[in-house]
Amino acid sequence: MRVPGGRERLRGLVAEDLVRFEWLDELVLSPDGRRIAFSVRRSDPAQNGYHVDAFVLDIDSGATTRVSQGPGTAGALAWDRKGQRLAFSWSVGDEHAVHVWDGGTDRAIVSIDAPMSGLTWNHDGTWLAGVRWTVETLPGDPIPRANLPRPSVRVVRRLRYKQDGVGWVNDRYSQIWTLHVATGELRQLTSAQADHAEPAWATGSEALAFVRIAREQDVAEGWGQILVVDDWGSSPRALLPEWRGAARSPQWGDGDNAIAFAGHDAPSPVNRRMFMQPWLADVASGTARPLAHEVDQEVGNYAVSDSRKGLSNITVKWPAGGAWIYYLITERGATHLYRVGLDGMYERLDEGPHVTFEYAPSSSGRVAVGRSDPGSPGDLYVREEEGTERRLTSLNPWLADHALSQPEEVWLDGLEGSRVQGWVLKPIGFDPAHRYPAIEYVHCSMFSWDFSHEFQCLAAAGYVLHVVNQRGTSAGFGQAWTRASEGDQGGGDYQETMKMVDWLTAQPYVDEERLGVTGGSCGGFMTNWVVGHTDRFKAAVTQRSIVNQISFFGTSDIGPEGTTAEAGADPWSDLDAVWRQSPLAYAHRIDTPLLILHSDEDHRCPLEQAEQLFAALRWMRKDVELVVFEGESHGLSRGGRPSNRIERLRRIQNWFDERL
C-alpha cells in the first residue's frame, strides 16, 4: 500500500500472522555461566500444532547449536552440575523419551509412556529426577469380569479430580521418578495420593526436595508443602512441620543447610489471591523466615499475554555456590528481575516498561533472561554482574516490516482516591481528526507491557483498544488492591471499569455510538456483568467466562476456593449473596448483541457456564451466538491449536465489524 508522496505504508498484523511467530520458552544457564540452553516454540500449520526445539548458545562466541533433532517437543532443560551435559524431555506425537546431549552427540536414555517434566541432576551426575503422570489402581476400582467388557466408569474420591489443560485425573497422580543416566533404570520415588512437582536435588548429597499438593484444597498440603527425602530408601518428611500455607519452587543453597522457596503462610483453606514471597527455610530446625517481605508485590510473572503458553512463573532460583537468590516480581504492568541475600537485602536488576518472563542465574552474577515488550514477543538477553546487558537473539525479525500500535500508558482516577493504570492502543494510521469505534477490554489478571498479537490485530482492524488494571487485578498493585473485589464481584470493580469507559468515550477520537466490550475468564465474568447492567455497548464478546457462581462451585477445577473467595460465601451458607454476584441473575437485562466463545475441554470455567447464559438469552430471543472450540482448554488464546486461535481472533473481529 502506498500513501501520498510515494512512501509504502506498512500493514498491521492479522490473525493469520500467528503461524509466523517464534516464542522463547525455557532457558537454563550452565553453572559456569558460559552457555545458555533455551527452547523455541513455533507453529506447525501442517500438523495444526507446535514444535519446540532446544538450542545451546555459547555466550562469548555467539555460536548456536541446535540440540534437538527433527520435529518434536523439547522441554525440562537441565544442565548437570559441571555444565557438560544437558538433559531434556523429548516428545514426538505419542512417543516420549529423556535425552542427554554431551556437547557433541544426543542420545536417548529411556523411552517412556508419558513426558517427564522438571528434570534435575543429582550431585555426581549419575541420576536424574523428574515428574511423570502415574496411574494408580485404588481399592474399589472396577474390575473386569469373565465374558464382559471392563466397566466404563470413573470413581471420584478427591475434590480436584479434573484439571484444566490436563483433563480427568482422578486415577492419575504426578509422582517423582528417578532415572539412572547410564542404564535407563526408572524408580518411582513417591506414591502418595497427591500430586508432586518441582524436584530439586541437594548440591552435595542424595537429599531431594519437592512439592506435594493434595487434591483437597482445605488441608495443609492443598496448595503445596515442601517435603524432603534425605537419602535413598527414606520416607519423605515435611521440611516445615508447622507450615500452613502454600509453597513452590524449593532451591537448595548455603551448603545444603537452607532451602529457598516462594510461598505464603496463610492457613488453609488457602485463599488463592494471597501473594507469594521469597522465604528461607533452615533445613535442620524445620523453620522458615520471609525474605524481602516488605515488598508488597507477587513473586512471579502475572502479565497477561498470548505470547506465553502459561500465565505465571512462580519460581525462585539459587545458583550453586551463589550468595544471591533470584526471582521475578510483577509490578505496575511490568515484570522485573530481583535478587535477595540471606540478610534480606534485595535489589531490582532491571527497569523499564517490559516483561521479564524467564531467567537463569549463575553464581558469578551473570544472568540469562527472556524479555518482551510491546514490539517483541520475547528474546534472549544476558546481564553481567556489573549491570551491562546485551541481546543474544532476534526471533521475529519479520515484525520490523509491519506496523505496530504502541500502547500509550494512562493513569486515571478510580474509586476512593485510587489511581488506575491503563493503556490505549490506537488504530494503525491513526488520524486524530477521525472518530473510531472503540473496544473496552476487561480482565482480572494483569494487562502489561508484554506483546499481544490479539491487541495488534484489533488495532490494525481500525479499533481504539482500551485496557485497564482495575481493582481485583491479580498482581502488580499490592495485596489490598488484588483482594478489593472479594465478596463484591460486580461492585467496585464494575464501577471502576465504567469510570474508565467514561474517560474513553470523552476522547475526541472515539465514537461513543460504536463501543464494544470483551474479556476472558474473570474478564468474561465482567463482560457478562457489564452488559447486564448497562446498554452503553453496541456489541460484546464474552470468552471462557463465569456466569453462575453457584454451579461454578461444583464444576470448576478451582470451584470451591474460587467461589468461596470471590463471592465471599459458599452457596449453602448464603445462597442469595452468591446468586447476587452471578451474571446469570441479570440475563433478562441483557440487550447488547453477545457472542459467547468457549472451549469444550475448559475445566477452569466449564462449558456449562456458557451454555447457561446462551440458553437463557436464546429463550428470551436476544441477539446471541455460542461458538464452542472443540478439544481446547481454558488456555485457547495462548496455547490452543493454531487454526482455532486464528478462528477465535477472526470471530471476535467479525462480530465487532458487523455491529460497530
Confidence of residue 152 (pLDDT cuts 50, 70, 90): confident
pLDDT in tens, 516-532: 999 999 999 999 999 99
Q: Please, what are the domains in the chain?
A: 23-121 (2.120.10.30), 399-547+582-659 (3.40.50.1820)
Confidence of residue 5 (pLDDT cuts 50, 70, 90): very low
Instruction: Calculate the alpha carbon distances from 147 to 142, 151, 153 in Å.
Output: 15, 12, 18
CB 444 within 8 A of CB 525: yes
Given the DSSP bridges, would you call strands 186-188 and 510-520 parallel, antiparallel or unpaired? unpaired
Distance CA 406, CA 340 (A): 34
Q: Mean pLDDT across the stretch 465-469?
A: 96
Confidence of residue 312 (pLDDT cuts 50, 70, 90): confident
Inter-residue long-range contacts of 614-620, CB under 8 Å, 24+ positions, other chains counted: 616/584, 616/587, 616/588, 617/587, 617/590, 620/587, 620/588
pLDDT value, residue 7: 52
Q: Mean pLDDT across the stretch 135-163?
A: 81
CB 73 within 8 A of CB 44: no
The answer, yes or no, to whether residue 573 has pLDDT greater than 90, is yes
Q: Mean pLDDT across the stretch 587-597?
A: 98
pLDDT in tens, 334-346: 999 999 999 999 9
Given the DSSP bridges, would you call strands 287-290 and 298-299 parallel, antiparallel or unpaired? unpaired
Q: Mean pLDDT across the stretch 547-562?
A: 94
28-42: string of b/e by CB count within 10 Å (b at 16+)? bbbbebbbbbbbbbe
Q: Mean pLDDT across the stretch 559-565?
A: 89
Distance CA 609, CA 575 (A): 18
Lowest pLDDT segment from 16-30, 402-416, 472-486: 472-486
- Proportion of the chain above pLDDT 90, given as a percent: 85
Task: Kindly report the length of the chain.
Answer: 660
The answer, yes or no, to whether residue 1 has pLDDT greater than 50, is no
pLDDT in tens, 43-59: 999 999 999 999 999 99
List the grid coordinates of 193: 495420593
pLDDT value, residue 223: 85
Distance CA 68, CA 56 (A): 10
* pTM (predicted TM-score): 0.96
- Proportion of the chain above pLDDT 70, given as a percent: 98
Distance CA 210, CA 550 (A): 35
pLDDT value, residue 271: 64
Bigger pLDDT: 221 vs 387: 387
Phi and psi torsions of 389, nearest 5°: -135, 155
Confidence of residue 270 (pLDDT cuts 50, 70, 90): low
pLDDT in tens, 111-120: 898 899 999 9
Confidence of residue 63 (pLDDT cuts 50, 70, 90): very high
CA angle 255, 363, 210 (to 5 degrees): 55
pLDDT value, residue 218: 80
CA angle 417, 420, 422 (to 5 degrees): 160
The answer, yes or no, to whether residue 492 has pLDDT greater than 60, is yes
- Report, in angstroms and rounded to the nearest whole number, the Rg of the chain calculated over CA atoms: 25
Continuous segment of H or E residues that includes residue 368 = strand 367-373
Q: Report the candidate in 60, 31, 85, 23 with the shortest Cα–Cα distance to residue 382.
A: 60
CB 288 within 8 A of CB 240: yes
CB 210 within 8 A of CB 245: no
Q: Report the candidate in 62, 64, 60, 119 with the shortest Cα–Cα distance to residue 86.
A: 119
Given the DSSP bridges, would you call strands 127-135 and 624-629 parallel, antiparallel or unpaired? unpaired
Confidence of residue 6 (pLDDT cuts 50, 70, 90): very low
Peptide bond into 269 cis (omega under 30): yes
475-496: string of b/e by CB count within 10 Å (b at 16+)? bbbbeebbbbbebbbbbbbbeb
Distance CA 35, CA 103 (A): 11
* DSSP state for residue 5 in the 8-state scheme: T
pLDDT value, residue 2: 44
CA angle 576, 591, 490 (to 5 degrees): 35
Q: Mean pLDDT across the stretch 165-194?
A: 94
pLDDT value, residue 8: 66
The answer, yes or no, to whether residue 3 has pLDDT greater than 60, is no
Residue 165, classed as helix, strand or coil, is coil
Confidence of residue 233 (pLDDT cuts 50, 70, 90): confident
107-127: string of b/e by CB count within 10 Å (b at 16+)? eebbebebbbbbbbbbbebeb
Q: Mean pLDDT across the stretch 454-475?
A: 96
Distance CA 375, CA 387 (A): 23
pLDDT value, residue 146: 80
